[in-house]
Amino acid sequence: MTFGALERAGAWQVPERMQVRVLFGSAVLDLREAVLPAGDVEIAVKVVFSSLEIIVQPGWQIDNRCGAILGSVDQEASAAVSGSRRVVLTGRVVFGRLAVYVPPRR
C-alpha cells in the first residue's frame, strides 16, 4: 500500500505467510476475529515513512524480530506472553512505527 490507509478487520482468512508493505501511509491489521491457519503465522513487514498497527488476541505468543532505522517497534508487554497461537513478525521499519498490542476488553 502506498500513499493511503488500509484497515483489515473482522473475519478474514490469514495465510501462513504474508507480506505487508506500507509506504507513506498507515495500515491496521486486526487479527482478533481473523481465521488463522494451523501452526505459526509469519508476517513480513516493510514500513517506510508510515505506521502499522497489529492488534492481537490476549494470550497469543508474538515473536517480534523486526528492526528499526530511525523508527520505532513497540510491543505491549501483554502481547508478548506465550500462548497457543504464535505470530512471527519479521522485517524493518524505516522512519516509521510498528505497534503490536492487545486492546482493552470491550
For 18-42, write each residue's pLDDT tens digit: 999 999 999 999 999 999 888 899 9
The DSSP line for 10-54 is SS-BPPSEEEEEEESSEEEEE-SS-BPPSS-EEEEEEEESSEEEE
Distance, CA of 25 to CA of 103 (rounded, Å) = 22
Rounded to two decimals, the pTM is 0.88
pLDDT in tens, 1-24: 778 899 999 999 999 999 999 999
Helix/strand/coil for 18: strand
Whole-number average pLDDT of the chain: 90
Q: Which 8-state DSSP code applies to residue 77? A: G
Distance, CA of 58 to CA of 94 (rounded, Å) = 28
- Lookup: cell for 55: 492488534
Question: What pLDDT was estimated at residue 61?
Answer: 86
Give the other-Cβ count within 10 Å of 73's Cβ: 21
Question: What pLDDT was estimated at residue 102?
Answer: 86
What lies within 8 Å, CB to CB, of 78 at 6+ separation is: 58, 101, 102
Q: How far is CA 72 from CA 26, 42, 50, 67, in A?
A: 14, 20, 11, 8
pLDDT in tens, 75-89: 876 655 566 788 999
